[in-house]
Amino acid sequence: MIAFDFEYYKPDTVEEAFKLYKQLNLGGKKPIYYGGGTEFISMARMNNRYAGAVIDIKAIEECNVNKIVGGELIMGSALSLSKIAESNLFPLMAYIARRIADHTIQGKITLGGNLLGTIIYKEACLALLLSNSKLVIYGRDGKRTVPILDMYDQGLRLEEGELLLQIIVDERITGLPFRHVKRTKLEKIDYPLITMAAIKDGDNISLAFSGLYQYPNRSLEMEKIINDSSMPEKKKVERAIEILPEGILDDLGASSQFRKFILNELLSQVFDKFEEVC
């Protein structure tokens, strides 16, 4: 049971949602955009999160798109992880979605919620970082499209009141061979110690991780080493781990040393089999 009251709005258009946010914010209501609400409800119940108003975005048409148009896959931010998994339009993303929480919660968690929540793992981000996706954002000047790498700094940096509408991925990239490995402490359904996602474009491997740091990360420097054909595989793995910056997670889940051990194992496998997209 949530111990505080809030107002609930479910607008039909993005313009309505943005205007509402502005009004409610000016009125001191501390509004939030609301997708699946799983994080908000569980944290609000513990009084770790507060909002005076929630703006449910699930009725906004643009936020529910899931289709390929003109060589690009467009995914709405209100799509549930289940819909992403079932549609399988981006197989790597579908794999990742199927391993976030359990199947009942996957029907509730939205893509936007996973990307913009406060839980650090944000595993959906891995597929987007690897695919150099673009984000469609609605803000003060209307709609704009921005490459994810311009908006990403240890998380997506949206301005106050801005709404993530859609994510756009090049259709060619959705069809590349991929690899997804999630290592948890004990249970299959758990937050990751490390999740690794990788795609292979020709001979070039791209890698992104969740659980290694306080945020999902993709290291171009590490990729350069992994793709260096002059080094033996074992050496590449050693070098890739050596150049990791400070700050590897060290918590009750696992020590940073153990995470490095897992990373070693995951990187050693990355030269092997990639899933082929059918």
Partner 1 sequence: MIEILGQKMLTLNVNGKNRDVLVKPSDTLLFTLRNELGLTGAKPGCENGDCGACTVLVDGWPVKSCLMLAVEAIGKSIVTVEGLKDTPIQKAFVENFAFQCGYCTSGFLMVCHALANIHPDANEATIEEWLQSNICRCTGYEEISNAIKSTLEKINAIQA
Binding residues vs partner 1 (CB under 8 A): 1-2, 4-12, 16, 37-38, 41-42, 44-45, 54, 56, 58-59, 82, 101-105, 107-108, 188-189
User: CA torsion, points 34, 36, 37, 42, in degrees to nearest 10?
Assistant: -160
Termini Cα distance of the chain: 45
Strands 31-34 and 53-56: parallel
Q: Which is closer to partner 1, CB of 97 or CB of 156?
A: 97
Backbone dihedral angles phi then psi of residue 148, each to the nearest 5 degrees: -60, -35
User: Greatest CA separation found in the chain?
Assistant: 62
Least distance from C-beta 38 to partner 1, angstroms? 5
Three-state DSSP class for residue 11 = coil
Q: How many C-beta atoms surround the C-beta of residue 45 within 10 A?
A: 12
Distance from C-alpha of 241 to C-alpha of 239, rounded to nearest angstrom? 5
Least distance CB 44 / partner 1 (angstroms): 8
Cα 178 to Cα 275: distance, rounded to the nearest angstrom: 5
Minimum CB distance to partner 1 smaller for 19 or for 144? 19
Residue 86: CB minimum distance to partner 1, A: 10
Comparing CA positions, the residue from 94, 132, 128, 122 lying closest to residue 275 is 94
- The residue among 56 and 171 lying less far from partner 1, judged by its C-beta, is 56
Nearer to partner 1, 23 or 268 (CB): 23
| Residue 3 or 278 having the CB closest to partner 1 | 3
Q: Minimum distance from CB of 90 to partner 1 (Å)?
A: 20
CB of 207 to partner 1, least distance (A): 26
Judged by beta carbon, residue 6 or residue 261, the one nearer partner 1 is 6
| Nearest distance in Å: CB 277, partner 1 | 20
Query: Cβ(58)–Cβ(17) under 8 Å?
Result: no
For the chain, what's the residue count?
A: 278
